Amino acid sequence: MIDLHSHILAGIDDGASTVDDAIALVNHSALSGVTKVLATPHIHFGTFDNDLASIKKAFAELTLKFQKEQINTAVAYAAEVRICPEIILLAKTKQLPFMGEWQGSDLLLIEFPHSHIPPGSEKLIDWLIKNNIQPMIAHPERNRDLWKFPELLRPFKQRGCLLQITAASLLGDFGERSEKLAWQLIEAHEATIVASDMHNLTRRPCKMKEAFEAVATRCSQAMAERLFTDTPDLIFNSNPTIWTLK
Ligand SMILES: [Fe+2]
């Protein structure tokens, strides 16, 4: 399996605090069959003020230790960018770390607030698409507005936004409403990938294996492979920052 959403860069957001924590997270996910992990730290102005420089620095620290400890998991970096007007400036100044490519466009992992969908989001998505940036919405099933009004996602689907579901949502870890919406999106064939969004081993570990089995049982093995392995692998392999053990 290939995990395209994780918080394994040490000390720059609410994920791994140290590189040793990151190694523990990655080793744990490897035990469940994850072979490639994309680091997607938060870029969330005022909360996690990351930029390309802070992400590159943390990634270099991570891979140095991975080499030393002979960690076999391939890693690369992107970011999980909180939706905000500043994204336009970041795009214009080439400061957005992309997940990889999607049909000739740069693929950007975008997060809505958990409470609502901010006004103006559709316009921002239009601007991104016009500028050759393909948005992928992180865990829409965890948004409280979408619990009540799932049809609010329709304008984003109509614009071609891709959807990332979080593995633990499918297992009920974020409550019944997230679980229900996650399965609705999977069963309607509207989800693009499933990823772990792992932060730590205690409250937010990697649940990819359990979620894969749940999708294979409830839907089909082929669908599980597409969501957890095939599509994420295509994206990961198009990322220009891949590191593997030498
Ligand atoms: Fe995340």
Q: Which amino acid is at 118?
A: P
- Report the C-alpha gap between 49 and 84 in whole angstroms: 13
pLDDT in tens for each of the 246 residues of the chain? 999 999 999 999 999 999 999 999 999 999 999 999 999 999 999 999 999 999 999 999 999 999 999 999 999 999 999 999 999 999 999 999 999 999 999 999 999 999 999 999 999 999 999 999 999 999 999 999 999 999 999 999 999 999 999 999 999 999 999 999 999 999 999 999 999 999 999 999 999 999 999 999 999 999 999 999 999 999 999 999 999 998
Please indicate, yes or no, if residue 243 is contained in any of the structural domains: no
Strand-pair category, 100-102 with 105-111: antiparallel
Write the CATH number for 200.
Answer: 3.20.20.140
Distance 40 CA to ligand 1 centre (A): 7
Distance 149 CA to ligand 1 centre (A): 22
Question: What is the reported pTM?
Answer: 0.97
Please indicate, yes or no, if residue 134 is contained in any of the structural domains: yes
The enclosing H or E element of 211 equals helix 208-218
User: In the chain, what are the helix, strand and coil shares in percent, each to the nearest 5?
Assistant: 45, 20, 40
Please indicate, yes or no, if residue 218 is contained in any of the structural domains: yes
Q: What is the pLDDT of residue 246?
A: 85
158 Cβ contact partners less than 8 Å away, ≥ 6 residues apart: none
Please indicate, yes or no, if residue 136 is contained in any of the structural domains: yes
Distance 6 CA to ligand 1 centre (A): 6
Distance 3 CA to ligand 1 centre (A): 12
Structural domain boundaries, residue 175? 2-237
Provide the domain count of the chain: 1
Please indicate, yes or no, if residue 105 is contained in any of the structural domains: yes
Distance 68 CA to ligand 1 centre (A): 27
Distance 5 CA to ligand 1 centre (A): 6
Please indicate, yes or no, if residue 228 is contained in any of the structural domains: yes
